[in-house]
Amino acid sequence: MPEGDTVWLAAERLRAALGGATLRRGEFRIPQLATIDLTGATVGEVVPRGKHLLIRLEDGRTLRTHFRMDGSWHIYRPGTPWKGGPAFEVRAVLATDEWECVGYRLHDVELVPTAEEERLVGHLGPDVLGPDWDLDEALCRLSSAPDEQIGVALVDQRNLAGIGNLYKVESLFLLGVHPWTRVADVPDLAALVVRAQTLMRANRHHPEQTTTGNPRRGRDHWVFGRRGKPCLRCGTAILLGEQGPPLKERVTWWCPTCQAARSPIDPQARTGEPDHPPPVTLR
């Protein structure tokens, strides 16, 4: 899952390949940028900002890309076959004499004056992996909507930037918090955020994203992607539901035993099933 750690690693690798180099090829395969040719431009910094990737050119322009669910950058030596997917999924090619950087399935591709970057990323909360990380500010933003469900609030990039579905469900499991808990009812909000950050920091130097310490497939996550499988701690079957506002629902996994709801958290729960999860669509 491309989350903040994925973007952080991509930025490191793109910076190593492109930083300070002049592009001998710089093209886009998306309609709105199809006429742009970056050949001759020199790449300056490559900066992760939450789940956004900013490639700054020394001529004062910034290329912003976003991976969403499926995007990736691949880096090849010239003449090496590209293997990131079919050619029609290539969205951008940035090449120097030494490297060919190919962006597959990129989203939100925009080229803007660097001075206007804030228009694209200014809404983001503190960056979980950023040099200017501010825990107090993140907690303040989370707490500003005390009735919001924590499973929704944690992935709202305006609260804090970088956490996606994987680190959301895994940190909630590790802290024993039911995803539908109100933000105000989370026993230790700071510990929850710090746990998500610790997981992301541990994974940022490599593409694998284990949260259990075990890299083996099927054992690498506590609840993510494990619907119906036994909880690695207690053996209860992991549940899957959808959470979030209409049309923006995200799937959520949780263990109903390790993450039992602590108090009635919706009308259905108040009518006699205190530990029953709120109405969700089970798949």
Residue type, 109: V
For 164, phi then psi, to 5°, come to: -115, -165
Nearer to Zn ion, 134 or 220 (CB): 220
Please state the closest distance from residue 185 (CB atom) to Zn ion, in A.
Answer: 20
Q: Cα separation of 264 and 258, whole Å?
A: 17
- Bridge-based pairing of strands 107-113 and 25-28 is unpaired
55 lines the binding site for Zn ion (CB under 5 A): no
| Joined tokens for residue 236 | 């209860």
Query: Which residue's CB comes closest to Zn ion?
Result: 231
233 lines the binding site for Zn ion (CB under 5 A): yes
If you compute the radius of gyration of the chain from its CA atoms, what whole number of angstroms results?
21
Please state the closest distance from residue 209 (CB atom) to Zn ion, in A.
Answer: 20
Nearer to Zn ion, 233 or 250 (CB): 233
Q: Cα separation of 19 and 11, whole Å?
A: 10
177 lines the binding site for Zn ion (CB under 5 A): no
Considering only the stretches 6-14, 30-38, 143-151, 252-260, report the one whose residues sit in contact with Zn ion under the rule CB under 5 A: 252-260
Q: Which of 234, 242, 273, 275 binds Zn ion (CB under 5 A)?
A: 234
231 lines the binding site for Zn ion (CB under 5 A): yes
Of the candidates 161, 155, 167, which has an alpha carbon nearest to the alpha carbon of residue 210? 167
Footprint on residues 193-222 left by Zn ion (CB under 5 A):
none
Q: Which residues are catalytic?
A: 2-3, 51, 250
Q: Which of helix, strand or coil describes residue 26?
A: strand
Considering only the stretches 27-35, 78-86, 119-127, 234-242, report the one whose residues sit in contact with Zn ion under the rule CB under 5 A: 234-242
Q: Which of 110, 250, 257, 278 binds Zn ion (CB under 5 A)?
A: 257
Q: Cα separation of 44 and 18, whole Å?
A: 8
Residue type, 161: A
Considering only the stretches 117-125, 145-153, 225-233, 244-252, report the one whose residues sit in contact with Zn ion under the rule CB under 5 A: 225-233
172 lines the binding site for Zn ion (CB under 5 A): no
| Joined tokens for residue 160 | 């804090």
Nearer to Zn ion, 72 or 236 (CB): 236
258 lines the binding site for Zn ion (CB under 5 A): yes
Nearer to Zn ion, 22 or 236 (CB): 236
Nearer to Zn ion, 28 or 254 (CB): 254
Strand partners, 47: 54
Please state the closest distance from residue 212 (CB atom) to Zn ion, in A.
Answer: 13
Contact 279, 268 (CB under 8 A): yes
What lies within 8 Å, CB to CB, of 116 at 6+ separation is none
Burial class (CB in 10 A: 0-12, 13-18, 19+), 97: exposed
Nearer to Zn ion, 55 or 174 (CB): 174
Contacts to Zn ion by CB under 5 A: 231, 233-234, 236, 255, 257-258
